[in-house]
C-alpha cells in the first residue's frame, strides 16, 4: 500500500499471496505514480520522499536504483519500532475491521478453517472499491477527505517522462525471447505487433506486468521497441497466476486421462487362456554384417 503522508490518500496498492517481493513493491509504486483510469482517483506523481521498512523487498538493490533514477529519497523506519509506521498500520487496521470483516469467507467463530468464497480478483476488486470510498470520505484526523487534502489549492505533481520510462525502471520481470515469424511466444500465449517484422530471428527482451498479460513490452538492448498484444484474448485481462493455474489444471487432466488408459491398455495385452506361447524372435544376420 502506498499512502500519502500529508493527505492520508491511498495512491496505489497491490494484492498478492505469498512472501513480499521487490516485484510486488514495484507494481504498487507503478500504480501510485502513474495516472489512473478512474477519473475520481486523482492521486499520482513521483514522491520526493518514500518511507519504507526493512523488509527484503524494500532493501533490494533494484529499489535503490529506481529511487536514484526517479530522484526519490528513501527513508527507512527504525528497526523494532512500528510506531514510525503508524499511519499505514492504522489503515491496514481499517481494512481489517471495515472491509475484511464483512466479506464472505472470513473465519467464523468456532470454525477451524474457513471455506473459500472469493477469488483473488474478486478480493482485489473489493479493496479497490473500498479505497475509492475511503479517499472521498472525511478523515477524522485532518477534518476533510483525503482527496480534498490532496488537491488543496491546485498543484501539478512531478511525473516521469512517460509510462515506458516508468515501466523500464519498475517492471522487474525481464525475459529473453527470440522473435518468431508468427510473433513472440510466452507462457503459452502469442504476442504480435507490426513493428516486430524486422526482428524475426533475433533475440529481444520482454517486460511484463504479472497482473495483466494481455500485452508485453519489447526491448532491444534496453531500447523500447513496441507493445505486443495477445490477439487471441484481446478483451481478457489474464494474470500470470491465471495462466499458470490453467496450465496446472490442464496437466492434471491429462495425467488423469493417461492413468485411466494404462489399465485398459494392459488388459488388452494380457495373453488369452489356452493360447500358445509366443515364439521368441531370432536375431537375423546378414552377410554384410559379418564382413
E-strand ranges in the chain read: 2-3, 10-12, 49-52, 73-76, 174-178, 184-186, 189-192, 203-209, 212-220, 223-230
List 110's β-bridge partners, or say none.
none
In whole angstroms, give the CA distance from residue 2 to residue 30.
10
289 pLDDT exceeds 60?
no
Q: What is the pTM of this model?
A: 0.62
120 pLDDT exceeds 90?
no
Question: How far is CA 198 from its chain centroid?
Answer: 30
At residue 75, the pLDDT reads: 84
Confidence of residue 159 (pLDDT cuts 50, 70, 90): very high
Q: Quick check: helix, strand or coil at residue 33?
A: helix
Q: Are 227 and 252 in contact (CB under 8 A)?
A: no
Q: Where are the domains of the chain?
A: 2-107+116-151, 173-268
Q: Are 179 and 199 in contact (CB under 8 A)?
A: yes
In whole angstroms, give the CA distance from residue 143 to residue 161.
35
In whole angstroms, give the CA distance from residue 269 to residue 271.
6
In whole angstroms, give the CA distance from residue 89 to residue 57.
18
Q: What is the mean pLDDT of residues 61-89?
A: 76
> 61-69 and 163-170 helices cross at what angle (nearest 10)?
160
76 pLDDT exceeds 90?
no
Q: What is the mean pLDDT of residues 124-134?
A: 93
pLDDT in tens, 174-213: 688 999 998 999 888 899 999 999 999 999 988 887 777 7
Higher pLDDT, 30 or 269: 30
pLDDT in tens, 235-270: 666 666 666 666 677 777 778 777 777 776 666 665
At residue 20, the pLDDT reads: 76
Q: Does domain 2-107+116-151 have CATH number 3.40.50.720?
A: no
Amino acid at each position: 500500500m502506498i499512502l500519502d503522508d500529508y493527505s492520508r490518500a491511498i495512491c496505489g496498492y497491490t494484492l498478492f499471496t505469498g512472501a513480499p517481493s521487490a516485484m510486488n513493491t514495484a507494481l504498487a509504486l507503478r500504480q501510485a505514480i502513474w495516472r489512473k483510469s478512474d477519473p475520481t482517483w486523482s492521486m499520482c506523481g513521483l514522491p520526493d520522499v518514500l518511507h519504507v521498512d526493512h523488509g527484503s523487498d524494500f532493501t533490494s538493490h533494484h529499489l535503490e536504483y529506481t529511487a536514484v533514477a526517479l530522484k526519490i529519497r528513501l527513508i527507512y523506519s527504525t528497526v523494532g519500532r512500528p510506531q514510525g509506521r503508524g499511519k499505514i498500520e492504522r489503515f491496514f487496521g481499517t481494512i481489517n475491521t471495515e472491509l475484511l470483516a464483512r466479506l464472505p469467507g472470513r473465519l467464523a467463530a468456532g470454525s477451524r478453517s474457513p471455506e473459500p468464497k472469493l477469488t483473488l480478483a474478486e478480493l482485489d476488486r473489493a479493496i479497490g472499491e473500498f479505497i475509492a470510498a475511503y479517499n472521498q470520505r472525511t478523515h477524522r484526523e485532518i477534518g476533510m477527505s483525503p482527496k480534498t487534502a490532496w488537491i488543496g489549492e491546485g498543484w501539478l505533481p512531478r511525473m516521469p517522462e512517460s509510462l515506458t520510462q516508468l515501466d523500464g525502471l519498475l517492471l522487474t520481470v525481464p525475459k529473453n525471447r527470440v522473435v518468431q515469424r508468427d510473433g513472440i511466444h510466452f507462457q503459452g500465449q502469442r504476442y504480435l505487433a507490426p513493428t516486430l517484422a524486422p526482428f524475426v530471428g533475433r533475440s529481444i527482451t520482454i517486460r511484463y506486468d504479472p497482473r495483466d498479460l494481455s500485452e508485453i513490452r519489447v526491448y532491444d538492448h534496453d531500447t523500447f521497441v513496441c507493445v505486443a498484444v495477445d490477439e487471441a484474448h484481446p478483451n481478457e485481462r489474464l494474470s500470470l497466476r491465471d495462466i499458470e493455474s490453467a496450465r496446472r489444471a490442464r496437466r492434471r487432466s491429462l495425467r488423469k486421462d493417461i492413468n485411466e488408459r494404462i489399465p485398459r491398455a494392459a488388459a488388452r495385452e494380457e495373453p488369452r487362456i489356452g493360447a500358445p506361447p509366443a515364439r521368441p524372435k531370432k536375431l537375423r544376420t546378414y552377410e554384410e554384417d559379418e564382413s
